[in-house]
Amino acid sequence: MRTILYILQKEFIQVFRDKTMLPIIFVVPIVQLLILSYTATFEIKNIDLVVVDHDKSVVSAKIISKFSGSAFFNFKGVVDSYEEGENSLRNDYADQVVVIEPGFERNLQVEKQARIQVVTNAINGSAASLMSAYSISIIADFNREIIVDAFPLANIELPIRTQPNFWYNPELNYMTFMVPGILVLLVTIIGMFLSGMNLVKEKEIGTIEQINVTPIKKYQFIAGKLLPFWVIANIDLAIGLLMAYLVFRIPVVGSLPLLFGVASVYLVAILSIGLFISTMTNTIQQSMFISWFFLVVFILMSGLFTPIESMPDWAQDLNYINPVAYFIKINRMIMLKGSGFADFARDFYLLLIYAVSVLSFAIFRYKKRI
């Protein structure tokens, strides 16, 4: 036990003496949280819109004003021909083109039926469906107004009325959803990279050879490499939670000790992955590359940006070995829903087994012999 204390003392001295370490530990997570939380948004705003108005009537002007008055649209102007509209889509001047047919007003009044075409750039499929949903709802609004104007006494109440109720995030604020996930992301990056780089650095400068001829036990050495970054990552989580509260007004609904308890187990898993990789590599370059590879896969599959439920079955199964997915899920449950331990006990136990296994692999894989 005394040996571990001496190892820890050495590691802490080295970590905090490194001039680049303090900014990495404290500034990087804050910047990440601020930038990612504001930019990783799924809301579609500022849709660049061009209208092809073949009709040039009072009604078409009314429709155009509906679009240009909407907060979702960035109205770029009216053009005269369909070709011009298509061109603006092609050269990315517009995201969406609304085409009003010739004789629109007349058709509406005489035929009681008129047509509008909506063309959307669908390179990003989910953005496109949102964009077209926005325009359709604007047109639907307009439809209703026409009916009310034409039949002022008609009862246009629909027989089934839906009253949506959004729980846990009533304002549908995407930041509320993103911030808990991004918090997981930043402690993961700090933990996995710093621990892995630290061990492999001793290989690069050659001091590991001196360590290997001492009677240090393997688990003592790994513990010495793990604990400092475990503490640092927990501090980063605390800073992140404080920022989430102060900047984004996202409080932790559930229990804070419970959150840190899960984080502690999660961090053992993540740090051990970093250490495991570094026991198998000889240079910081190799270790960083492999860590990045796993991290990118872990993050993309974690449900941070896209719901796990909509992934194919094999991907969902693969997430059993994705520690990031476990913690993002649990962190969102605790922070937003105020879930208690019983609500995610199964995930927690899987995470615990995971942490213990990877830690054992790392200790086993670290060889004091060449």
Min separation Cβ 298 and other proteins, Å = 31
Size of the residue set binding other proteins (CB under 8 A): 24
| Interface with other proteins (CB under 8 A), residue from 162, 163, 165, 210 | 210
> From CA 118, how far away is CA 73, in angstroms rounded?
14
Please calculate the CA angle 291-297-303 and round it to the nearest 5 degrees. 130
- Residues in 351-370 at the binding interface with other proteins, rule: CB under 8 A: 368-370
Q: Nearer Cβ to other proteins, position 9 or 357?
A: 9
| Interface with other proteins (CB under 8 A), residue from 125, 159, 170, 206 | 206
C-beta separation of 12 from 228 below 8 A = yes
Residue found by looking up tokens 């993002």 in the block: 328
- Residues in 80-119 at the binding interface with other proteins, rule: CB under 8 A: none
Min separation Cβ 270 and other proteins, Å = 25
216 binds other proteins (CB under 8 A): yes
Which residues touch 297 (CB under 8 Å, ≥6 apart)?
322
Min separation Cβ 234 and other proteins, Å = 24
- Residues in 286-305 at the binding interface with other proteins, rule: CB under 8 A: none
CB atoms within 10 A of CB 318: 14
Amino acid identity of 193? F
Q: Name the token pair of 183.
A: 């918090």
161 binds other proteins (CB under 8 A): no
13 binds other proteins (CB under 8 A): yes
The Cα-based distances of 224 to 11, 146, 341 in angstroms read 7, 74, 30
Q: Which stretch binds other proteins (CB under 8 A): 30-38, 51-59, 117-125, 208-216?
A: 208-216
Q: Name the token pair of 60.
A: 């078409």
246 binds other proteins (CB under 8 A): no
1 binds other proteins (CB under 8 A): no
2 binds other proteins (CB under 8 A): yes
Q: Nearer Cβ to other proteins, position 160 or 213?
A: 213
159 binds other proteins (CB under 8 A): no
Distance of CA 315 to the CA centre of its chain: 18
Min separation Cβ 20 and other proteins, Å = 12
| Interface with other proteins (CB under 8 A), residue from 42, 209, 242, 353 | 209
Residues that bind other proteins (CB under 8 A): 2-3, 5-7, 9-10, 13-14, 17-18, 205-207, 209-210, 212-216, 368-370
